[in-house]
Amino acid sequence: MLQRRKSAIHTPIHILVNPGLATSWLILEINSMDFRFSDEHKMILEYGNSLAKTYDRKYWTQCAERRAFPQEMYQQTAADGFVGTMVPEAYGGAGLGMFEMTLFVEGLSNNGIPLLTYVIGSVMCMGPIGDYGTEEQKQRYLPDACAGKTRFCFAITEADAGTNTMNAKTFASKTKDGRYKLNGNKTFITDWGESDYAIVVSRTTSLADAGKKTEGFTLFIVDTKAKGIECQPIPTSVLVPEMQYQVFFDDVDLGPEDVLGEVDKGFNILFECLNPERIIVSAIGTGLGRFAMSKAVEYASERTVFKGPIGAYQALQHPLAKAKTEIEMASLMSLKAAWLFDEGESCAAEANMAKYAAAEASIHAVDASLQCFGGNGFTKEYGIYDIYPLVRLFKTAPLNNEMVLNYIGEHVMGLPRSY
């Protein structure tokens, strides 16, 4: 069972900084950085190696091809304490943080067995309920979710709004008795049909009436089987066990007890969900990149066509080495973003950079691996091409790389807004 780790002790270092032409000096206090993992961190990262002995890539692929959720594997990770990694111990979780969750997901992906459910359920839903939920909500939802008895999904995307969440039209109108009626629709909602509950992003004040465009959003915890909800699967070409859904809300009855956080002030919590989403997606990308390259290295070290193994050819070796470098740099940025999140610091820049870097690096890693396998890379037997659609998806979702670069350009570099 996963247990809470002791807080690391950081020794402050004082550095004198000359601020340009100013005559005064600034004294900055920074924490020393130790890149060595603790024994527990190593255990978390290597957990995927042991899990894969029972639930390997073949098992995962068979589930994905049937669009069947890998329940046995999920239950095992729940029993071992990982589904509730970020949930307080009082509610059945491990009481750990984003850093540990990132290591866990990356370790699974290193073995080719990623689950998007950990992104949307464990990170985007269970974590915020533990942080912002009422005591009643925590008691009601978290113990069963940590035990794997119930699952959560997250509903934000709308067909007409797309990347522009401010234009979301799903609306929860307040009734005379103080309850709410939820109407609207969502699209590309991962795992809705198989989940028990969802966090739904809705407006409770229209964009026209809101003081700022980020105001007027409320997050609701919704029973996915509630009256007035219909969902339709969206067939996709990406090989994953989880399904995508379009969801319709027709006067769905909700009460104050279903509000996560405060009415009209859900946008702050929303970003507490979206930055972690990008961090964990980065961990999946870097892990899958490593998995593809490990298969390529093994194959290229044994495959002989002319004088020796093809892995000795620089035309194959250099793209793999370059991809390996990109993967490890992306992984470091993911871990930095996760560490900042756990420290309560702003991690938006690092989370976006990690997502961008991992998406690009994982595509390069799979492409370089495919080239090593030649025609064999496109066969079901070797399964290398099967990895490509998922890592390519990360260039588009959960946020496309163009919008990520827009964010970095404007908010990190200070360039004029481009949209």
pLDDT at residue number 24: 42
Per the CB < 8 A criterion, the answer to whether 296 and 327 are in contact is: no
Q: What is the CATH number of the domain that holds 242?
A: 2.40.110.10
**Residue 419 counted as domain residue:** no
Residues 108 and 165 in one domain: no
Number of domains in the chain: 3
The tokens describing 44, both together, are 């978390």
The domain boundary, picked from 201, 232, 267, lies at: 267
Q: What are phi and psi of 32, to 5 degrees?
A: -65, 145
- The three-point CA angle 117-122-126 to 5° equals 130
d(CA 338, CA 20) in angstroms, rounded, equals: 32
Cα dist. 326→289, 306, 323 in Å?
Answer: 10, 30, 5
DSSP string, 254-314: E-GGGEES-TTBHHHHHHHHHHHHHHHHHHHHHHHHHHHHHHHHHHHHH-BSSSSBGGG-H
Work out the number of other CB atoms within 10 angstroms of the CB of residue 179: 15
Work out the number of other CB atoms within 10 angstroms of the CB of residue 230: 11
Residues 256 and 282 in one domain: no
Residues 314 and 248 in one domain: no
**Residue 17 counted as domain residue:** no
User: What is the chain's pLDDT, residue by residue, as a tens digit (419 residues)?
Assistant: 454 433 333 434 444 444 444 444 444 444 556 778 999 999 999 999 999 999 999 999 999 999 999 999 999 999 999 999 999 999 999 999 999 999 999 999 999 999 999 999 999 999 999 999 999 999 999 999 999 999 999 999 999 998 888 899 999 999 999 999 999 999 999 999 999 999 999 999 999 999 999 999 999 999 999 999 999 999 999 999 999 999 999 999 999 999 999 999 999 899 889 999 999 999 999 999 999 999 999 999 999 999 899 999 999 999 999 999 999 999 999 999 999 999 999 999 999 999 999 999 999 999 999 999 999 999 999 999 999 999 999 999 999 999 999 999 999 999 999 98
Cis peptide before 319 (omega within 30 of 0): no
**Residue 13 counted as domain residue:** no
Per the CB < 8 A criterion, the answer to whether 3 and 45 are in contact is: no
pLDDT at residue number 32: 56
Residues 244 and 177 in one domain: yes
d(CA 361, CA 319) in angstroms, rounded, equals: 11
Residues 261 and 275 in one domain: no
- Its domain, for residue 46, covers 39-148
Contacts of 286 by beta carbon, 8 Å cutoff, 6+ apart: 106, 109, 327, 328, 330, 331, 334, 358, 361, 362
Q: What is the CATH number of the domain that holds 136?
A: 1.10.540.10
Residue 167 parent element (H or E):
none
3-state secondary structure of 210: coil
The domain boundary, picked from 115, 148, 181, lies at: 148
The tokens describing 258, both together, are 């279903």
Residues 132 and 192 in one domain: no
3-state secondary structure of 232: strand
Residues 171 and 237 in one domain: yes
Work out the number of other CB atoms within 10 angstroms of the CB of residue 181: 16
Question: Cα 362 vs. chain centroid, distance in angstroms?
Answer: 15
3-state secondary structure of 416: coil
pLDDT at residue number 2: 53
Per the CB < 8 A criterion, the answer to whether 214 and 203 are in contact is: no
3-state secondary structure of 172: strand
For the entire predicted model, the pTM comes to 0.92
3-state secondary structure of 198: strand
**Residue 227 counted as domain residue:** yes
d(CA 223, CA 227) in angstroms, rounded, equals: 9
Q: What is the CATH number of the domain that holds 308?
A: 1.20.140.10
